[in-house]
Amino acid sequence: MSETQTHIEIPEQKIKLDRLESDGLILDIGGGGEGLVSRIEGDRVCAVDIRMSEIREAQIHEHSSNWIVADGRTLCFDDRAFDIVTLWFSLGYMSDWGTKRAVLETAYRVLKKNGRLSIMASCIPKEGISLIFWATFTLPDGTLSKTGYGVKGGQNQTLPRILELATDVGFNQHQYEDHGEWFRLVTRKL
């Protein structure tokens, strides 16, 4: 990790993505931009993003997901409508912890019993004005997707803090991987 004044840039991370283990419906919160979940799971995905420009960017990959401009804190979906909710590198764009909590509460509400929440997120230190996280993703079909995420710094977003928040919201049976600069968490609604 290099730090120039108060801007932090993370060297390129190589991240292998697998298919999600379910045939049910998937809600991808913050699913615009690279549209990773939509590119992997196609028409089973309802991808929401707060910005239309991010949805338009994801749609260039021409996958048949359902796209909705919405705020992840207050989604109009029925309770227990989805088998999986994903937050893949979108929590970093929610710099306020009240927003992160509200989004996880919404995820919990819309998940079916035994549904899974899949989170991948960068670690964002307590200090710094901004963080740029570079990644090359390998999709299940071997396609490479190289991107960078620029987010507000100073969030103190770590695996232990996200685990604590998820547990507080009601999720349990956590499985996680800590990769230093980023982490993966899968947790269940029981």
**Predicted confidence (pLDDT) at residue 60 exceeds the cutoff of 90:** no
Instruction: Judge contact between 39 and 61, C-beta under 8 A.
Output: yes
Q: What pLDDT sits at residue 124?
A: 97
CA distance 48 to 66: 8
* DSSP-assigned states of every residue in 17-46: ----S-SS-EEEET--TT-HHHHHHGGGEE
What's the number of CA atoms in the CB half-sphere (13 Å) around residue 78? 6
Q: Residues 118-165: pLDDT tens digits?
A: 999 999 999 999 999 999 999 999 999 999 999 999 999 999 999 999
Instruction: Report the mean per-residue pLDDT for the chain.
Output: 94
**Predicted confidence (pLDDT) at residue 20 exceeds the cutoff of 50:** yes
66-69/45-49 β-pairing: parallel
Query: 């919990």: which residue's tokens?
Result: 108
**Predicted confidence (pLDDT) at residue 78 exceeds the cutoff of 80:** yes
| Residue ranges with strand state E in 18-164 | 26-29, 45-49, 66-69, 82-88, 111-122, 130-138, 144-152
What is the CB neighbour count within 10 angstroms for residue 5?
Answer: 7
Q: What pLDDT sits at residue 105?
A: 98
- Can you say whether residue 168 is alpha, beta or left, with left for phi > 0 and alpha for psi between -120 and 50 degrees? alpha
CA distance 138 to 144: 5
Q: Which pTM was predicted? A: 0.93
Q: What pLDDT sits at residue 4?
A: 47
